[in-house]
Structures are given as structure tokens and as C-alpha cells.
Chains A and B, each alone.
Chain A
């Protein structure tokens, strides 16, 4: 089958609305991939989550408390931490108390933590970093750059495509519905050469109004016809392609199937509910063998007032993730759906004077799902010492910006390998992966 998605779009655009609907389901059968279903769900924590207070050492609480003291304003008391005991670490840690909803998932081994991940050009020691001879990601500590590097796995400069998009380019053989769905707008993660994400607004009907009634059909036909014109004007063409995609997929999205699982009515809860409904829609109607979703939660740039802000955000994160996990079980795809977090960077271990923290580098991330080898840490938890062996900073002014020991490339490639990206494609999607020892970290 060689009909590409773009061919299909062009073809379908010339058909009337009725012809389109008939064709859609014919093509579902023709192009549905054989083999099992798998989906990846990305949750981007915009602003840079302070993972120093997300996962705190319990056995070695003293090293934490030495800096994050009560007087610093950023202390999480030891007795409120939610205990987790990763076998590979050999000591006890605690989740932030707002993550209570995730603790059972850890116990069920459905939740793993990957420690001290960040964008890297190549493996780098503190000595190499301070020596200045090794390549480091461009514009380190800048929000926009580090957000891009997490999503593109390109740390040496701008990239036109994200690792989600490049993965989709290699796996999206569907002509019926986009493999990539974003419920949080357009981001570098879904940027691709050929594949295009469809964007949905959680909870809102996906219907073009005004195409019914006496003159609706003629107006609809003209609206569609205009989308095919003036394609030599790049900006006009780009807008037209996006509108055509919305139009083409509107019918199948106009009503999403309901779920039993109750989701929290929060920003992320609503997004993950929409994703879960699309997972169900795929089971009942779409029949894709791969899906990839992008969600996000903002507000993690806690330069001030961090304790209350982060507690609220982590509560939202944990509750929404737990509901989503329950929904995947309700739908019967919990083994086939893996959810993971990304974030700009972690934050300075040493606070600033506004009961906040500033931009840092490596941080800890969650991976959730039935296929996850959970209940453990992957990678080394950093040594919590300013001017210590993991810090970019030196001297008395050192603030504890941890140098990552796992690259985003390794983290992402592990997820993509589970997702079915073959080793050849893996090298193409993650061009920098070969510089690191381990291509698959084994957490899923």
C-alpha cells in the first residue's frame, strides 16, 4: 500500500463530505497495521520542575536538609515524604506528599523514576564541564532552548523536527487519522517532515458550524475549495493545510465515547481524559496500531513561592496520571500505553531569596504504564552537594545545578524502542545516541 497520508488528504479534499465518510472507513481496513497496539503519552511540565523536592532522599535526608533547611523556606519535612524503596539505589527515598496518587502505582511496579536526565551533546564529567573542552547543549539554562532540546533530542542548535515527529514519520502508515494528537497546542515534539499532529481542545466539540441547512452544503463546498487555492503562497498554504486536516477529521471526532473513570477537572485532568477517550475511540473506530499524544502542564518555573505552587502542581500531576492509568485499565490497554514526563530542566538545589529556585539542568522523571518495569530508579540519584561532584557550579556561590548522567536521547530512545522503532530507524531519529554507552535503559 503506497497511498501516503498526503495523497489521501489531497484525494479526500476533492470528495464531498459524504464521499469522505465512506472512504474513511474503507481505508481504515486497507491501511490498518498488523501487530499489537502501542501508544506513548508525553506530559511536558513547562517551566522546569524542581525534582529536588519531587523525590527526596529519606535515608540520606541530612544531605538534603543541609541546604533545603526549614530556614531556607523550601523544606519538605521528612515525615511527610511518601516512602519508596528503589532496589537499585539500596536506600529509601520519598515522593513529594502531593504525589500520593502515584505511590500505589510505584508499589504495583507500574511507575519508574529515571534519575538526573537532561540534554547532553556527549557524556560529560564535572571536570570536563569545568574544563570547557567538552561540548555542552547550546544556551544552557534557557527555557526555550532546553524545552526544545528535550523535545527534539538535538542539543547543538535548532531542529526543525521533534523526536515524536521523527518517530511518527517512520511509523505513521495510516491514511485514516493522524498518529500524533496534541491536546496542548503545537510544540517541537510533534514537528515532523511528513506527519502532522491533529490538535484538540479538551472537552470542546470538534465540529464546523454552519455547514448544514439550505445553503450549508454550497458554503461548505466553497470553504473546502478555497483551501486548495494559492498554494504557492507558503503562509496561506500552511494555514490551509491545517484547516483541511481539521475539516477532514471533524466527523470522526465530533463525539468522543464516554468513560467510566472519573478524571479530576483540572487542566491536565481534562487533557488526559481527552487522550483516554481517543484511546477508546481508537479501539472502537479508528483502528490505528500506533498513537502518540502530547499533553502539558505549565507553571513549574517556581522562582518564588515554590512550596505552595509546586505542591498544587504535583497534586494535579499525580491525580491526573493516576486517573489516566485507571482509564487505560478500563479500556484494556494498560499494557500498551506508556506515559512519561519531560520538563525544561530541574532547578537550583540552593534556593534564592524569594523562597524559590532558579534554572538548573538534570532532573528526575516519571514513566508510567503496565509495560513499565516499575518500582525502581534508573540511573544514579545525584549527590546533593553544592560544589560537589554533580554540580556545574563551583565555590561558595555554587547552587547545585546537577550535570545529567543520562541524556534525553537515551531516555527517549528507550521509550521509542518499546514503541517499535527498529534499530536502524532509532539511529536516524536519535542521531546523537551513539555517543552514549546504553541505548536502552530498560525501564520499559
Chain B
């Protein structure tokens, strides 16, 4: 029952097409062998291949075969319970790099290198693929940047947190994020103090503003379907104002780092704690505060109680479902979900069916199983999304069973995505970014797709397909594709392209594209089998048709 009737027919039809294609090759290339290799990916269920594209860092032959065997629901269950491959526990280091810490010491402790390496290694071979995709999404909503959180041992616990909370509740995640040392330092809830009457300095507004604008409810009141609510004059309705920010700024006062590991070695591993001097929460503003939706927090509460009340207030706001849910859809499935799709996900966010609000496991499952996500192909002009650089790199490598040390971050950086180091808390791209000349269509990842990035993407594909990335000082083993499986297809350009289309594009390669690539493949003599395979792989992976995952 893993395939529905229609899919089986489509599958058979594709096999027929492949046979006809093989026959065509024979007619123009009489010296080719009379029978070709057996297609595998060309016969995949397109919908299953699409699910793997949406829920992992990319289809490999073995993984799609696995999902075809067990079916979509069991695969999702498998993923939701897969053992986590956590980011490494890195040794705490002094904030200031000791002069003796150079070369690999500096690289491993004072740059994002070990985390970037883990990211790609795990994306390429980790079993917890869906958790990784969700954590990567969360990291681009609840942004902490290594530009400010400079030490890998400061960032690692935050990435571990996102992994751990990826399938938990939003409310739980919000607490963990808020109290994490990395976020505290990044958006200045750390060491935030109540008004100092002597100097006149005020509570810091940074976390208060961004937790509202970016991590929870956004700037304007939303309908459950993600569209903005409008007032009688047709204007959007602000979801908070400057006064609200100042009230929340007072909530987020009083917190400091957990006890240091040593002099000059701060503790970024443990959650922040309240600063207490002689039994008094000296930095916390315990006055009354006006929060969202008319909620008032009374005076006299502890910092922890104030925080609980404030995070309840935020997480309970009706905007959270559509605001967070739509971004999840954009990261996993399509930049332009229909309002109905967003509304269905908002409903799951509001109640997972068991009365639990903000159950991210249920939200992710619903997003992937939604009718707007499933199906063999979607023809709507704005459907799908441009693969962001890290996803693009991983997908190309996974398609060809690459062996890799995971040292790939320089490539994503040239494409505009310096992993763990976005320019600001606004991430690499805004969810509302509209593609140029696209009649209002959204394409968040297109913010990174400028001419320099287009060049970098094509050159990355050229590098990995034709040359591989050799080992070097920072690259223990380099990266190399394994194209051997495809060599038997090389004499049959049609079969070769169809096999790659099945693996990389769930068989959606248009006919003209197929013809164009076959022509280029056939310009290479059949005796140069590897060059034929590389030519086809290069042209697909470097194409816009492939890089826009649909």
C-alpha cells in the first residue's frame, strides 16, 4: 500500500518512457550496446522522493529506496525518534584567546569551524535528518550569530539546545532560548539591569524587541492563515508598540551567567541565573508591567516568575501559530504557501489534537503531510523554494554518496551563507523577501541569490563534480563524489539523464531540459563514460530548475 494507484501508473509510464528513450538512443547511436542498465531512481515514486527532499538534507539512492520500502508515515515516525547526533561538547576557553592558542587551537576554539564541520558531516551522513532540518530552521528564526558569540564552546550549547528542542513544544523552546547564555549575550538579556537612578541608564530593549518581532508574534496582528488583520481603514494593526517593548525590557532584567569555569572563562554551557546579593534580586525590576493583549503582571514578582508570566503571555498570543508555522513551511516546502495551508498548520500549532499548544513535532508532521506538500508534482508558478546554500551543498553531495570531512563552510560562505555567522538577528534573509520581477511572489532564499552567488554555485558544482575537494591543512580528507554507480548509464544518454532526474528532481525534468542535457552528454564520446556522467550531473546540479526545489 505504499504507492497509490495513480503513482503506480505514473511509475509504469516513466519506465515506458525510459524504454522508448533507450530505443531512441539506439536508433541514433547504433554502436551502443543493445540493452542498458536497469533504472532505479528513474522509477522512484516522485512523491516519496519529494518527501525526502523536504524532510532531509537530500535524497540519496539508499534513503529513497528505504522510504519506498517502509512508506511515508513509518519514515516520519522513524525520523521523529531517531537518535540525535549532537554537536560536540567543546572545552570552555578564556574569552580572550591566549597567545599560546594558535593554528588548530585557534581554529577549533575561536572560530565556528568545528560546528560548521559537524553541521555538514551530520547533514551528509547523520541519521537524524529531520531533526537537523528543523533545528537548522529554528536556528534561522531564533538567531544567534557567531560574529558576536565568537567561541565555538559558546555556540555549541546553543546548537545542542536547538537539536534537543526541535520536536518539543514552542513554549519549552522559548524558555530554553531565552535563558541560554548565547542568546543572553547576543541580545543583551545577560546583565540587563533595572533603571539606575544614579546614572540614569535604562533597561536594555534589545531582547524585548527582537523576541517579539522575530521569535514569536511579528510586527502586525495576523489572521490564522498568516495574512495581516486590517482595520476599518484597510491598515495593518501593530501587535505591540514602543511602550510594550519597554515593559518587556523591564521583565528581562536581573540575569547573569552561571558561575564561571575559571578566571576569564565564562560559563556559556548552563542557563543564565538570577543575580542575588544578600537575598535580593538586585538587578531585577519588580514593578508592575503591561504585557501583550492587556495582560498585567503585578509588582513584587521574582525575576523567574516575571519571566514565566511574560513567556506565557508571548507563547499564548494568537500570532505565534501563523507567524512561526508559515516560516516552517517556507523552510521545508514552499516559499508561497496558500493561506489555507498556513491556516491548517496554525490550527495544529494551537492544538495538536491532544490539547497541547505549540507541539513542534505535530506541526512539522502536519506540514510534511499536508496535501499542499504532497503529490508527485506542483505546477503553481510560485511553488517550491530556492535551496539555501547549505542545503544546496548537502543535497548535491548526498545525491552522489559523497565521502566528505564536512569542511565545506567556505563554499556556503561564497554563496552568501556563512554558517552560524549571519550578519544580524534578522538571519541571512527575511521571510517576506519578494523575488525581483515576481509579481509579489515570496522567495526568502533569493535574498542570497545575486550574480556573485550564482557564479559561486555553478563553480561549486564544477569543483565537486569534476575535481573533488582535495585534503589540505584544514581538510582532513576532502570531499569526493562517488559516481561509479552511474557509469553503466553513460552510453545511454536518455537513461542517464532520467536516472539523475529521478534522483535529483523527482522526475520533474522538463523535456526541453532533458534534450539539452542529452545533447551535451552526447558531445562526449561514450568511451569517456565518467565525463559523460559528470557532464550530466554538472548541468543538472548547476541549473535553476534543480536549485528551485519544487
Assuming the contacts A238-B446, A350-B201, asked whether A233 and B424 have C-beta atoms less than 8 A apart, the reply is no
Cα A282 to Cα B287 in complex, Å, equals: 62
Cα A238 to Cα B384 in complex, Å, equals: 13
Identify which of B192, B450, B454 contacts A182 (C-beta below 8 A).
B450
CB distance from A28 to the nearest CB of B (A): 20
Chain B residues positioned under 8 Å from A160 (CB to CB): 434, 440
Cα A350 to Cα B249 in complex, Å, equals: 15
| Cβ B242 vs Cβ A239 within 8 A | no
| Cβ B423 vs Cβ A353 within 8 A | no
Chain B residues positioned under 8 Å from A241 (CB to CB): 437
User: Could you tell me which residues of chain B, from 526 to 550, have a CB within 8 Å of some CB in chain A?
Assistant: 531, 535, 538-539, 542-545, 547-548, 550
User: Could you tell me which residues of chain A, from 219 to 257, have a CB within 8 Å of some CB in chain B?
Assistant: 219, 221-223, 225-227, 229-230, 232-243, 245-246, 249-250
CB distance from B543 to the nearest CB of A (A): 5
Identify which of B414, B416, B437, B450 contacts A204 (C-beta below 8 A).
B414
| Cβ A235 vs Cβ B335 within 8 A | yes
Cα A130 to Cα B213 in complex, Å, equals: 24
| Cβ B204 vs Cβ A303 within 8 A | yes
Cβ of B131 within 8 Å of any chain A Cβ, yes or no, is no
Cα A158 to Cα B440 in complex, Å, equals: 11
| Cβ A245 vs Cβ B451 within 8 A | yes
Chain A residues positioned under 8 Å from B520 (CB to CB): 215, 218-219, 221-222
Identify which of A72, A206, A223 contacts B200 (C-beta below 8 A).
A72
> Across the two chains, which residue of chain A brings its CB closest to B193?
A353
| Cβ A353 vs Cβ B203 within 8 A | yes
Chain B residues positioned under 8 Å from A55 (CB to CB): none
> Across the two chains, which residue of chain B brings its CB closest to A355?
B201
| Cβ B204 vs Cβ A230 within 8 A | no
CB distance from B460 to the nearest CB of A (A): 10
Assuming the contacts A199-B451, A238-B436, A397-B246, asked whether A233 and B548 have C-beta atoms less than 8 A apart, the reply is yes
| Cβ A299 vs Cβ B147 within 8 A | yes
User: Could you tell me which residues of chain B, from 272 to 328, have a CB within 8 Å of some CB in chain A?
Assistant: 283
Cα A223 to Cα B516 in complex, Å, equals: 9
Cβ of A285 within 8 Å of any chain B Cβ, yes or no, is no
Assuming the contacts A218-B520, A219-B535, asked whether A353 and B455 have C-beta atoms less than 8 A apart, the reply is no
CB distance from A353 to the nearest CB of B (A): 4
Assuming the contacts A209-B459, A229-B512, asked whether A352 and B201 have C-beta atoms less than 8 A apart, the reply is yes
Assuming the contacts A160-B434, A234-B441, asked whether A359 and B209 have C-beta atoms less than 8 A apart, the reply is yes
| Cβ A218 vs Cβ B188 within 8 A | no
Assuming the contacts A301-B424, A353-B191, asked whether A235 and B416 have C-beta atoms less than 8 A apart, the reply is no
Cβ of B452 within 8 Å of any chain A Cβ, yes or no, is yes
Cα A206 to Cα B458 in complex, Å, equals: 12
Chain B residues positioned under 8 Å from A182 (CB to CB): 450
| Cβ B188 vs Cβ A356 within 8 A | yes
Chain A residues positioned under 8 Å from B510 (CB to CB): 229-230
> Across the two chains, which residue of chain B brings its CB closest to A352?
B204
| Cβ A246 vs Cβ B436 within 8 A | no
Cβ of B31 within 8 Å of any chain A Cβ, yes or no, is no
Assuming the contacts A235-B382, A238-B435, A243-B454, asked whether A71 and B517 have C-beta atoms less than 8 A apart, the reply is no
A-B contact count (CB 8 A): 232
CB distance from A84 to the nearest CB of B (A): 28
User: Could you tell me which residues of chain A, from 252 to 309, have a CB within 8 Å of some CB in chain B?
Assistant: 298-299, 301, 303-304
| Cβ B205 vs Cβ A239 within 8 A | no
CB distance from B425 to the nearest CB of A (A): 8
Chain A: interface residue count, which band? 35 or more
Identify which of B209, B385, B462 contacts A235 (C-beta below 8 A).
B385
| Cβ B452 vs Cβ A201 within 8 A | yes
Assuming the contacts A144-B430, A230-B545, asked whether A71 and B198 have C-beta atoms less than 8 A apart, the reply is yes
Chain A residues positioned under 8 Å from B147 (CB to CB): 298-299
Cβ of A91 within 8 Å of any chain B Cβ, yes or no, is no
Chain B residues positioned under 8 Å from A144 (CB to CB): 213, 426, 430
Cα A159 to Cα B18 in complex, Å, equals: 48
User: Could you tell me which residues of chain B, from 360 to 409, have a CB within 8 Å of some CB in chain A?
Assistant: 381-386
Cβ of B19 within 8 Å of any chain A Cβ, yes or no, is no
Chain B residues positioned under 8 Å from A108 (CB to CB): none
Cβ of A191 within 8 Å of any chain B Cβ, yes or no, is yes
| Cβ B542 vs Cβ A240 within 8 A | no
Cβ of B84 within 8 Å of any chain A Cβ, yes or no, is no
Chain A residues positioned under 8 Å from B550 (CB to CB): 233, 235
| Cβ A47 vs Cβ B204 within 8 A | no
Assuming the contacts A219-B520, A239-B547, A397-B246, asked whether A353 and B434 have C-beta atoms less than 8 A apart, the reply is no
| Cβ B199 vs Cβ A206 within 8 A | no
CB distance from A63 to the nearest CB of B (A): 14
Flag B332-351 by CB within 8 Å of A: 1 or 0 each. Answer: 00010000000000000000
Which of B238, B436, B459 gathers most chain A CB within 10 Å? B436
Chain B residues positioned under 8 Å from A138 (CB to CB): 236
Chain A residues positioned under 8 Å from B75 (CB to CB): none
Cβ of B138 within 8 Å of any chain A Cβ, yes or no, is no
| Cβ A239 vs Cβ B454 within 8 A | yes
Which of A140, A239, A298 gathers most chain B CB within 10 Å? A239
CB distance from B44 to the nearest CB of A (A): 21
Assuming the contacts A250-B455, A353-B202, asked whether A210 and B188 have C-beta atoms less than 8 A apart, the reply is no
Chain A residues positioned under 8 Å from B179 (CB to CB): none
Assuming the contacts A204-B414, A350-B202, A353-B203, asked whether A222 and B516 have C-beta atoms less than 8 A apart, the reply is yes
| Cβ A186 vs Cβ B447 within 8 A | yes
CB distance from A248 to the nearest CB of B (A): 9
> Across the two chains, which residue of chain B brings its CB closest to A192?
B436
Identify which of A47, A197, A215, A219 contacts B424 (C-beta below 8 A).
A47
Which of B381, B383, B414 gathers most chain A CB within 10 Å? B381
Flag A124-161 by CB within 8 Å of B: 1 or 0 each. Answer: 00000000000000111111110000000000011010
| Cβ A304 vs Cβ B449 within 8 A | no
| Cβ B199 vs Cβ A71 within 8 A | yes
Assuming the contacts A46-B423, A226-B545, asked whether A238 and B451 have C-beta atoms less than 8 A apart, the reply is no
Cβ of B98 within 8 Å of any chain A Cβ, yes or no, is no
> Across the two chains, which residue of chain A brings its CB closest to B194?
A353
| Cβ A210 vs Cβ B436 within 8 A | no
Identify which of A69, A139, A201, A236 contacts B414 (C-beta below 8 A).
A201
Cβ of A29 within 8 Å of any chain B Cβ, yes or no, is no
Identify which of B187, B201, B238 contacts A303 (C-beta below 8 A).
B187
Assuming the contacts A219-B535, A222-B516, A227-B544, asked whether A352 and B203 have C-beta atoms less than 8 A apart, the reply is yes
| Cβ A209 vs Cβ B213 within 8 A | no
Assuming the contacts A142-B213, A226-B545, A239-B446, asked whether A208 and B455 have C-beta atoms less than 8 A apart, the reply is yes
Assuming the contacts A209-B459, A242-B451, asked whether A359 and B205 have C-beta atoms less than 8 A apart, the reply is yes
Cα A243 to Cα B446 in complex, Å, equals: 12
Task: List 7 contacting pairs A-B, 8 Å CB cutoff, sorted by A.
Answer: A215-B535, A223-B542, A226-B544, A234-B382, A235-B438, A239-B386, A246-B451
Kindly list 19 other residue pairs between chains A and B, CB separation below 8 angstroms, not including A138-B236, A219-B538. A72-B201, A144-B213, A185-B450, A191-B436, A209-B458, A209-B463, A210-B538, A218-B524, A221-B520, A223-B539, A226-B516, A226-B539, A227-B544, A234-B381, A242-B450, A243-B458, A350-B200, A351-B199, A358-B202
Closest 6 CB pairs of A and B: A199-B450, A222-B520, A353-B193, A218-B523, A239-B544, A246-B451
